[in-house]
Structure 1
Amino acid sequence: MNKHTSRRGRRTASAAAGVLLTGLLFGTAACAPQGAPAAAPAATMVASAPSAVSRAATGVSATASAARQPATTGPLLDASVPVRLDVPAVDIHTALVPLGQAADGSMDVPGGQPGDPGGWYKYSPTPGQLGPAVILGHVNNLASPQGLFFRLHEMKHGEQFTVTRADHTVAVFQVDKLAEVKKATFPTLAVYGNTNRAEIRLITCGGYDAATGVWTENTVVYGHLVSSHKA
């Protein structure tokens, strides 16, 4: 194991552990596909995400959740906010900003202007901690059909990418799979639920329906931590 990885986080369940995940929408404006009009449709990228208060609302204690957490495997890192994502295989290179929740309870999303960074959902684990860290990016932006995560759907099993963290650690992740999922049947537990290792999800919208002007799917990349090193 890399000397910069730590197993102290093994005593803590993932941020999504042991909860009944609440319905939470995260909308993404200007998700126009290639060839769509410049006045892009207001689309929603639907997923169900755990909120900061979900565990308390269900009456499941952190101690009980940790007790049910399966045996962990692979390297783990202590908590540190992610500041940059680099995915060379699909030419994604971006700063990251923390994303919380809007006043209506929906998940915040990154800005939709060209050059706006991607976002890390701050109620998910930080990349490298036990559980699934969640990073969002737009498939398009307000000026172009080709946004930050426009090529996310091209990612393949085994490809590696990195997340640089505020503690100057670079977490190296490997793609496990890519899935195109229907918003109506979004796999909430698979995306946000317990894991026995440090994992990550990269999410954007997909499945643009020109007839209705909405996005019907999400593109989700699943990956796991394989190593880390100093930046």
Structure 2
Amino acid sequence: MKSARPHDTVQRTIDIIVAAVMLIVTAPVMLAVVILVAWRLGRPVFFRQQRPGLNGRVFTMVKFRTMLDVDPERGLITDADRLTRLGRIMRSTSVDELPTFINVLKGDMSLVGPRPLLVRYLDRYTPTQARRHLVRPGLTGLAQVRGRNALSWEDKFDLDVWYVDHRSLSLNARIFAETVLTVVRRDGIAAEGNVTMPEFLGTATSRPTISNA
């Protein structure tokens, strides 16, 4: 699986510069969040999880922790039960994503690309949907500025594949700028009836892909 383009090398340079600058600029904010999370949620402060990246290669993504541990005796079972008020604020402002700039700096991720999902989803994609792994996953992506978690899984994947086929530096710049507006407006944080998104169980029937994003 390979879908390299000349501008991908330029984008990688941009990724390194922006990630390094953001880690420096947001260091005071991240220090404050570390203290708050340790105080309100306890340790560990960071949430680490295996996610598939470029060509399906698995890496460890790091974010700030937003949920309490599973504890049936306290009624902490579902994501909705475990997500704290602090966690909701962090997610709605995307502050929980700040440590992920480390993944961008390392080359696991890019600033823009399809969002990295769960490893167990890999064998649930249709061949077309699996093409989302032809590029590095991103901190933000086309699906995030076209509805985020308010979209169905199928619509998200259609947008991901459209991005893979039409990506460019100008498109990346537009998506990154629109992401800022999406975060400010706090659009599409959760799917209806869920605190984030329900589990992707696979697509039952084939669907036409989105031809114009």
TM (normalized to structure 1)?
0.28
Report which of the two has the higher share of strand. Answer: 1
Structure of greater relative contact order (alpha carbons < 8 Å, 6+ residues apart):
1
TM (normalized to structure 2)?
0.29
Report which of the two has the higher share of helix. Answer: 2
